[in-house]
């Protein structure tokens, strides 16, 4: 099983990726949070920092592009390839954010299948590197997915990553495995599954339902348990029971402390650093259900000293 780390806007930038990669294994590809080219430039300074090769050493990183303009996509793909050495880029057709969707981007682009088809015709006439797609199954109804699959099948995508929800679901309800099953039956492109794999049991259910799937993208599941990819691969290699080794507190503390130090070095002011670390605990706190009082202190911390004292109570 190949395992990919999903792009999570505002979270999985290069600082997070480097800290994670130094403490955990099991990830075959890391996808960047989306890059948004426009008429003035392919990448902004923040996006450039995120894709610089020196900020991504030792990792296979795939830049993700958010746009509905073929010329913008091609310019970004060209710069990423020629200037920074990326041979693969990913098109975001999955972001459900209202601000993105109202501009006809992300999952919003799925509501315009004829324009999406024309977009693919344009980029595949000129693009030099590999193109993968991360998509939802439609805007409003799962029945939209059949026509979208017909469009995807017309083009040589290096991978099609499916999150089987529609845009209006956001992250509610449950992934539509019936729709994903249609993709398994009909896709001419290599498929990767994404959606609600939080535990080893979730992985086992997916594996039992779709044994032919050899690629999986994890997002929030890795934020909740950074060792999840390792656990899955251990079970793949050695069979049931091999994934029992839980995430030990010492390694989690090392990861936390590295991430904390790097954010403090890159940001100014307690408020900015606290925002990033509270985001870490919004997911990681799931590992410590018995520590609700200390987790509440982390959420309420207004100064780094208050934060440090609460974290010491959990990880010290």
Q: Is 302 helix (H, G, I), strand (E, B) or coil?
A: coil
**CA pair distance 316, 150, nearest whole angstrom:** 54
As a whole number, mean pLDDT of residues 271-297 equals 96
Model confidence, pTM: 0.95
Residue 246 pLDDT greater than 70, yes or no = no
Binned at pLDDT 50, 70 and 90, residue 247 comes out as confident
As a whole number, mean pLDDT of residues 147-155 equals 98
Q: Which of 65-74, 122-131, 229-238, 292-301 has the lowest mean pLDDT?
A: 229-238
**CA pair distance 145, 163, nearest whole angstrom:** 11
Instruction: Report pLDDT for 148.
Output: 98
- In angstroms, how far is CA 11 from the centroid of its own chain? 9
CA proximity to 233, closest of 243, 241, 222:
243
Q: Please write the tens of the pLDDT for every residue from 192-211.
A: 999 999 999 999 999 999 99
Tell me the pairing of strands 215-218 and 2-5: parallel
As a whole number, mean pLDDT of residues 150-179 equals 97
Instruction: Report pLDDT for 110.
Output: 98
**CA pair distance 229, 199, nearest whole angstrom:** 10
Residue 241 pLDDT greater than 90, yes or no = no
Nearby residues of 268 by Cβ (< 8 Å), 6 or more positions away: none
Question: For residues 287 and 247, is the Cβ–Cβ distance under 8 A?
Answer: yes
**CA pair distance 312, 297, nearest whole angstrom:** 12
Question: For residues 219 and 5, is the Cβ–Cβ distance under 8 A?
Answer: yes
Question: For residues 1 and 215, is the Cβ–Cβ distance under 8 A?
Answer: yes
Choose the CATH number for 2-244 among 3.90.870.10, 3.20.20.70, 3.40.640.10, 3.10.20.30: 3.20.20.70
CA proximity to 170, closest of 218, 106, 225:
106
Binned at pLDDT 50, 70 and 90, residue 232 comes out as very high
As a whole number, mean pLDDT of residues 119-145 equals 97
CA dihedral for 286, 206, 134, 141, sign (positive or negative): negative
pLDDT > 70 fraction of the chain, expressed in percent and rounded: 98
Residue 243 pLDDT greater than 80, yes or no = no
**Domain map of the chain by residue range?**
2-244, 249-315
Binned at pLDDT 50, 70 and 90, residue 252 comes out as very high
Nearby residues of 262 by Cβ (< 8 Å), 6 or more positions away: 15, 18, 19
Instruction: Report pLDDT for 290.
Output: 95
Binned at pLDDT 50, 70 and 90, residue 239 comes out as confident
Residue 72 pLDDT greater than 80, yes or no = yes
Q: In the predicted model, what is the mean pLDDT of the chain?
A: 96
As a whole number, mean pLDDT of residues 174-191 equals 98
């Amino acid at each position: 099983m190949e395992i990919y780390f999903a792009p999570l806007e505002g979270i999985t930038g290069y600082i997070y990726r480097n800290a994670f990669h130094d403490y955990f294994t099991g990830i075959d590809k890391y996808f960047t949070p989306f890059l948004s080219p426009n008429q003035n430039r392919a990448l902004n300074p923040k996006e450039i920092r995120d894709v610089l090769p020196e900020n991504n050493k030792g990792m296979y990183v795939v830049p993700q592009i958010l746009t509905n303009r073929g010329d913008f996509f091609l310019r970004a793909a060209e710069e990423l390839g020629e200037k920074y050495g990326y041979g693969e880029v990913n098109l975001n057709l999955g972001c459900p954010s209202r601000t993105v969707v109202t501009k006809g981007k992300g999952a919003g682009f799925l509501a315009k299948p004829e324009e999406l088809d024309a977009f693919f015709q344009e980029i595949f006439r000129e693009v030099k590197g590999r193109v993968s797609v991360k998509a939802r199954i439609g805007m409003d109804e799962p029945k939209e997915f059949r026509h979208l699959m017909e469009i995807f099948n017309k083009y040589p995508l290096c991978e099609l990553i499916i999150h089987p929800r529609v845009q209006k679901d956001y992250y509610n309800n449950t992934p539509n495995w019936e729709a994903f099953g249609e993709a398994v039956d009909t896709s001419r492109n290599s498929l990767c599954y994404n959606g609600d794999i939080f535990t080893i049991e979730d992985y086992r259910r997916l594996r039992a339902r779709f044994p032919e799937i050899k690629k999986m993208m994890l997002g929030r599941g890795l934020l909740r348990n950074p060792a999840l990819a390792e656990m899955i691969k251990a079970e793949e290699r050695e069979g049931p029971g091999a994934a029992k080794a839980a995430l030990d507190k010492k390694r989690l503390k090392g990861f936390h402390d590295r991430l904390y130090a790097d954010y403090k070095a890159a940001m100014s002011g307690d408020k900015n650093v606290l925002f990033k670390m509270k985001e870490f605990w919004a997911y990681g706190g799931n590992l410590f259900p018995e520590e609700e009082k200390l987790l509440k202190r982390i959420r309420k911390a207004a100064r780094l000293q208050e934060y440090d004292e609460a974290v010491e109570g959990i990880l010290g």
